[in-house]
Amino acid sequence: MSTPRYADEQVALWNGAAGRAWVDAQELLDGIYRPIEQLLADVVPTGSPSTVLDVGCGTGATTLAAARRLAPQGRALGVDLSEVMIAVARARAEREGLPAVFASADAQVFPFERSSVDAIISRFGVMFFDDPVRAFTNVRAAARDGAEARLAVWRSAAENLFMTTAERAPLLPKLPPRRPDAPGQFALADRDRVYSILEESGWTAIDIRPFDLECTFPEPELVRYLTRLGPVGMALQQADDQTRAKVVDVARAAFEPYVHGAQVGFTAACWIVAARAGVR
């Protein structure tokens, strides 16, 4: 399946360095965020003949979690801009023999079959739309009346200091500043803005609650994390060896408050967003 692409910057990003980084770190990231995966999958009725749409599915962890609950009667559909991540997701579904299909597509404009979806989920996949009202209106068109959406998005950068630790280290002054409300990790940090977007897009019973997840991962993975993910990770892929070594030393030291023996620990500050597709 394919669709016209309007967001060239996002397409290039997620089919390039960012997409490859997420594929490389798939097991690490899935492990860190598994509690959110489980929280989202709980919206899926076990063994029902439902169709669940996973928006911004990445390498497919949440899509597959939904498919496991739906098997053998239902199916899960995962949609993501990144062809490189979708390829991984398809391979994972095939290995497990799960009822999951994937589309490399832009959910903002993709021509979903109308009223074909019984539930919508997303784990950190809906913050990258150029026009979020248009995107959520399009997803609403795919949903049956009363379909439930459950989404996890990040709260503010100020509440997620771990996420910006590397870029606040001093050796990369040319990093582009994060733009409030621009497509990106913290684009849906403003609760009131999220509410307005969903309401304008035809969603009702909107409930937005803070969720703090205590995350851990093995300390030996920290350098891979900071050199592959986020703005610093992207910049380092273009840096010479000498610059890269200096930045890694400084950035790794900046993470020291989060290192506890053999583990790295931090709090992920999220919103869990619930809504229902309003009656047309």
Q: How confident is the model at residue 3 (pLDDT cuts 50, 70, 90)?
A: very low
* E-strand stretches of 63-202: 75-80, 100-104, 117-123, 143-154
Does residue 35 have a cis peptide bond before it, meaning omega lies within 30 degrees of 0? no
pLDDT in tens, 160-173: 999 989 888 766 65
pLDDT in tens, 159-214: 999 998 988 876 665 667 777 778 889 999 999 999 999 999 999 999 999 999 99
- What is the model's pTM? 0.91
Architecture per CATH, domain 8-156+180-213+270-277, reads as: 3-Layer(aba) Sandwich (3.40)
Q: Classify residue 198 by burial, with Cβ atoms within 10 Å: 0-12, 13-18, 19+.
A: buried
How far is it, in rounded angstroms, from Cα 150 to Cα 119?
8
Q: Which residues contact 74 (CB under 8 A, 6 or more apart)?
A: 44, 45, 47, 48, 49, 50, 51, 52, 67, 99
259 contacts 166 by C-beta, under 8 angstroms: no
